[in-house]
C-alpha cells in the first residue's frame, strides 16, 4: 500500500511541476489574461482533468507557485546560519550564501517579477519578506544605538533586492557564486575607511 501511495505522490509532484513550468513558460510570452487552462495543459502534455484535480482556477496555480518560491527563498536566505547559535557575519563565506542559487534556479519566475505587471506586487512582498527575516532572525542588542531597527532592516532588504534586480535585468551574466562573492565584499566593506572623491560637473 505504501508503494502505491509513494507512486501516487510522485505522480502528483510530477504533474504539478509540469503545470507550473508550462504556466511560467507561457507567461514569458503572453499576459496572464491571455493564458487559458487549455494552453497550460497542452504545453504540460496533460489533460484538463489533471489540472482540475489540483486547482480550480489559474490564480490557484499562480498562488501555489508564489508560495513555493517564498518557502524556498526563506530557506535559502537562512541557509548560512540555520544551524548556528551565534552567527558572525565576519566569518560568512561566499559558498554559504544560497540566495543567488535560489534566484537562478527560479530564473523564469524572477524574470517575470521584473517585467510582468501581474507580479509587480510580488516585488514589494519580497522586500517585506527580506525585511521581516532580518528583524526576526537577528536579535543583536546594540546598546544606546541611535539606529532604528526597522529602518536598518528596510535598508538592507531593499539594497539586497536592488542587487537581485540588477542581476536579473543583466540576464544572469554573472554566476550565482560570483554574486555571492560580491555581496560578501559589499557586506564586509568598511565604509568608514572609504575616501570618495566626488565628481560633480
At 107-121, the pLDDT tens digits run: 999 988 887 766 778
Instruction: Answer yes or no: is pLDDT of 194 > 50.
Output: no
Q: What is the pTM of this model?
A: 0.82
User: Using CA atoms, how far apart are residues 23 and 32, in angstroms rounded to an integer?
Assistant: 9
Strand stretches in the chain, DSSP E = none
Contacts of 104 (CB under 8 A, 6+ apart): 172, 176
- Summarize pLDDT for 9-63 with one digit per residue, the tens: 888 999 999 999 999 999 989 888 899 999 999 999 999 999 999 999 999 999 9
| pLDDT(103) > 80 | yes
Q: CA 177, CA 196: separation in Å to the nearest integer? A: 28
* 41 CB-near residues (< 8 Å, 6+ apart): 19, 22, 47, 48, 50, 51
If you average pLDDT over residues 100-104, what whole number do you get?
A: 97
DSSP 85-122: SS--GGG--GGG--HHHHHHHTHHHHHHHHH-GGGHHH
pLDDT band at 198 (very low <50, low <70, confident <90, very high): very low
Q: How far apart are CA 15 and CA 114, in angstroms?
A: 27
Tens-digit pLDDT profile for residues 163-185 = 999 999 999 999 999 999 999 99
Task: Calculate mean pLDDT across residues 124-131.
Answer: 94
pLDDT at 6 over 90: no
- CA gap 12, 4 in Å, rounded: 12
Percent of the chain with pLDDT over 70: 86
Say which residue, 121 or 99, is predicted with more confidence: 99
pLDDT digit string, tens, across residues 130-146: 999 988 887 655 556 78
Rounded Cα distance, 125 and 122, in Å? 5
Q: Are 28 and 108 in contact (CB under 8 A)?
A: yes
Residue with C-alpha cell 528583524?
135
How deeply is 15 buried, as exposed, middle or buried, from its count of CB atoms within 10 A (0-12, 13-18, 19+)?
Answer: middle
Is the separation of the CB atoms in 100 and 176 below 8 Å? yes
Q: Which three cell numbers stand for residue 4?
A: 502505491
Percent of the chain at pLDDT exceeding 90: 61
Confidence at 3, pLDDT banded by 50, 70, 90: low
Q: How many CB atoms lie within 10 A of CB 1?
A: 5
pLDDT score, position 87: 79
CA atoms of 106 and 60, how far apart (whole Å)? 19
Does pLDDT of 4 surpass 90?
Answer: no
The CA R_g of the chain, rounded to the nearest whole Å, is: 21
Amino acid at each position: 500500500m505504501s508503494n502505491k501511495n509513494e507512486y501516487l505522490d510522485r505522480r502528483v509532484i510530477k504533474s504539478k511541476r509540469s503545470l507550473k513550468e508550462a504556466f511560467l513558460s507561457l507567461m514569458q510570452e503572453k499576459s496572464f489574461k491571455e493564458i487559458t487552462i487549455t494552453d497550460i495543459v497542452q504545453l504540460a502534455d496533460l489533460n484538463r482533468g489533471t489540472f482540475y484535480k489540483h486547482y480550480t482556477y489559474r490564480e490557484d496555480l499562480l498562488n501555489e507557485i508564489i508560495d513555493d518560491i517564498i518557502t524556498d527563498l526563506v530557506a535559502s536566505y537562512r541557509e548560512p546560519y540555520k544551524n548556528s547559535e551565534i552567527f558572525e557575519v565576519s566569518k560568512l563565506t561566499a559558498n554559504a550564501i544560497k540566495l543567488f542559487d535560489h534566484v537562478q534556479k527560479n530564473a523564469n519566475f524572477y524574470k517575470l517579477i521584473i517585467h510582468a505587471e501581474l507580479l509587480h506586487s510580488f516585488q514589494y512582498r519580497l522586500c517585506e519578506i527580506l525585511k521581516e527575516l532580518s528583524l526576526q532572525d537577528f536579535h543583536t542588542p546594540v546598546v544606546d544605538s541611535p539606529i532604528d531597527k526597522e529602518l536598518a532592516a528596510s535598508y538592507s532588504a531593499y539594497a539586497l533586492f536592488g542587487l537581485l534586480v540588477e542581476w536579473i535585468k543583466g540576464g544572469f551574466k554573472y554566476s550565482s557564486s560570483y554574486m555571492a562573492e560580491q555581496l560578501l565584499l559589499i557586506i564586509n566593506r568598511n565604509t568608514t575607511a572609504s575616501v570618495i572623491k566626488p565628481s560633480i560637473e
